[in-house]
Structure 1
């Protein structure tokens, strides 16, 4: 899923122009940055609108597989329709954005519910979410550089490859055991169950800010690297991979670490260091130093990500995992939107330096603000454990 998504990012400006959706065709996209931003925003608007509905439907039905297959295949149709736009030649920028919205609305169902399938597995939650993180991170790490190379061949090639991959996902997932809790519930009961767990707002808040930084790098970071260092799409993809490679490869061991030491240190301390790393990327004066900073940010992201997703699993009831993870991905999708809009807006108005400072500062701020909430969760967990486990007897 993430491989398909990231294929488009390194050459997004070229792709948007090829689709005929450049700044000249719209009253609200005045620059290439604007047109690229709205193209990415449209997909995540689809994510935000539909991710909760996919989770509610899955929990109410007690099934994951049929919904994942439907989301993957309909998402493939969306990608293929976008690839056909240059041949049609008469679709406006607004029409392209509608197609992008529909593609995102379908794709998020497959993405969120495959993560929920990992929540359904036994074992340490950090370990299972570390496995999710490896999949997400490897997909992103490979998608960015390969997408850059595909763009050099043909700007619409990433769309066609994405469509083919989603068809493959739809077929392969039918071979995986569906371990969803089989008790059928009404959609209202599922929603009310999640509402009774306000502590889920903590991982949701971190998911929002963490994904905001990812959205920021996907759009603003990509254009910054190209403008500041004169990189083409292929080289930009490789620089993005400096983040995604360690981010992917370290998620599983970092998830196991969070099972052993708890969620607080990886999430809170890791987020503070992660924010500092983002600022360091924007301050790097050369490509080698920027690449080194991206590696550091990737390592820190690997520390934070599986612990945050595992906290969702820790807090969610068994029959509400689909909608709980849907809520997490809702917050994350809003974060991506904020990364595009806030990062793009600040960069447009005040330059890239301030944009890196704002986004990195927000990552630090959420960690500092959340410290009391984490202490409350830790005390509650300690009180729920038997005395012998707490070391009291």
Structure 2
């Protein structure tokens, strides 16, 4: 009997191997996504949109549409991929399919861009389809990390490192790729997703068998824990400001300080690098001091620094503000994700984290839309002020109820 039990155990080496492979899939998706940000206005002009001028209103609007199309695909299809995976009791084939489909989308955009003379709407449709497929690889790779043995902390730590590293490296490398060719970031993004598909084929499926939870069931169970509205709202706002900087911040730096795409990517990297490197230590800090202090203090400081980036009169001061922005953002991000785990029951953590990611993707989409609309209507100053006030304002409005939140029980509720 003992030998039979031992024979069914998954070797530790296999778990470690799969953890690394899945983290690399997560890394690749974020890396490929962020590659496009530093020269996004150049890219949409090469695809036939944006008019003239590197930071013209047309280019900014077209960039928002192009980036937003991917996130619409993310939001609409993330739950569908998860539902399909749960219903079939399989994950690996869908991760592979999502990665291959996302790679095909990136490469098709590059091929169509070389041909030229197509309506910009065609590229938006391809971009939406690429996002709809790519999110399958990302979301289910995250879910497979949750399925792994070896401890939730190790598995989510691997995911956090992958997310942070992908964003931190994607911006500066993407900027350098734009210097070699405006369509090259699309080609590289497609190539690395093909690599992710190959990696995923080596990962064992550990999806729970017999899981028949549907989307309606998942929403119903989340309604039983209304306190999840706090991390969802905070996560939405943090991603909104990240989306704001990915588009409006990039264009602002290029126009105000005369930067090319390569230099703009390096400036973006000044935010993403400390944000990535500090995820783990800030998560440990939130374990020691609680979630409330890092979330509240970090969000207020983060909102203030957003405005500080704009008022910085020189590039070195603006660059220093970007570093500080990454530090303050790192206070908030791991604490809000940990708050989701604190609030959700053990058997609904996957669903709860999925909801958190949906709100995060909506926030990123909101950052593109709000930033571009306000910048076009009232200028960069108003756009930066709006982003900063939204970040700090949401926390201020939620603060009284959030401080009353009881985090000592397994299912915390406001007092």
> What is aligned with 1:255?
283
| 1:82-104 deviation per Cα after TM superposition (whole angstroms, max 9, x unaligned) | 01112333421111100011111
Instruction: Give yes or no for contact 2:49–2:58 (8 Å, CA) kept in 1.
Output: no
Structure 1 segments unaligned to the other structure (5+ residues): 385-393
Q: How far 1:114 moved relative to its partner?
A: 2.5
| Structure 1 partner of 2:7 | none
CA distance in 1 between counterparts of 2:46 and 2:295 reads 41
> Displacement, 1:127?
6.3
Structure 1 segment 211-230 matched on structure 2, within 5 A: 211-230=239-258
Q: Show the counterpart of 2:115.
A: 88
Question: How far apart in 1 are the matches of 2:284 and 2:318?
Answer: 29
- Residue 33 of structure 1 pairs with residue 66 of structure 2: no
Give 1:105's match in structure 2, choosing from 132, 150, 157: 132
User: RMSD in angstroms over aligned alpha carbons?
Assistant: 2.3
Is the contact between residue 51 and residue 330 of structure 1 (CA under 8 Å) also seen in structure 2?
Answer: yes
Alignment CA distance shift 1:315-1:204 (3 Å): same
User: Hey, what does 1:388 align to over in structure 2?
Assistant: none
Contact 1:278–1:297 (8 Å) recurs in 2: yes
State the match for 1:146 in structure 2: 173
When residues 383 and 113 of structure 1 are mapped into structure 2, their CA distance, relative to the original with a 3 A threshold, is closer
Q: Please give the alpha-carbon distance, in whole angstroms, between the structure 1 residues aligned to 2:292 and 2:328.
A: 14
Q: Normalising by structure 2, what TM-score?
A: 0.85
Secondary structure of 2:49's counterpart equals coil
Structure showing greater relative contact order (alpha-carbon pairs closer than 8 Å, 6 or more residues apart): 1
Q: Scaled by the length of structure 1, what TM-score is found? A: 0.89
Q: Is residue 185 of structure 1 aligned with residue 212 of structure 2?
A: yes
Counterpart in the other structure of 1:362: 390
Give me the whole-angstrom Cα distance separating, in 1, the residues matched to 2:287 and 2:143.
18
Question: Partners in 2 of 1:139 and 1:375 — Cα distance?
Answer: 33
C-alpha distance in structure 1 between counterparts of 2:347 and 2:201, whole Å: 21
CA distance in 1: counterparts of 2:248 and 2:159, whole angstroms:
26
Say which is worse superposed, 309-318 or 339-348, in terms of deviation: 309-318
Indicate how the Cα distance of structure 1 residues 143 and 183 shifts in structure 2: closer, same or farther if over 3 A, else same.
Answer: same
Distance 1:11 1:192 in 2: 42
Q: Which residue of 2 aligns with 1:236?
A: 264
- 2:313 partner SS: coil
Q: Which residue of structure 1 lines up, in the alignment, with residue 234 of structure 2? A: 206
Instruction: Give the aligned partner of residue 16 of structure 2.
Output: none
Does the CA contact (< 8 Å) of 1:190 and 1:319 recur in 2? no
Residues in 1 aligned to 2:344 and 2:136: alpha-carbon distance in whole angstroms:
19
Q: Which residue of 1 aligns with 2:380?
A: 352
Shift in CA distance, 375/63, structure 1 to aligned 2, threshold 3 Å:
farther
> What residue in structure 2 maps to residue 174 of structure 1?
201
Structure 2, unpaired ranges of 5+: 1-28
CA contact (8 A) 1:22 1:93 kept: no
In the TM superposition, 1:124-143 aligns within 5 A as: 128-143=155-170
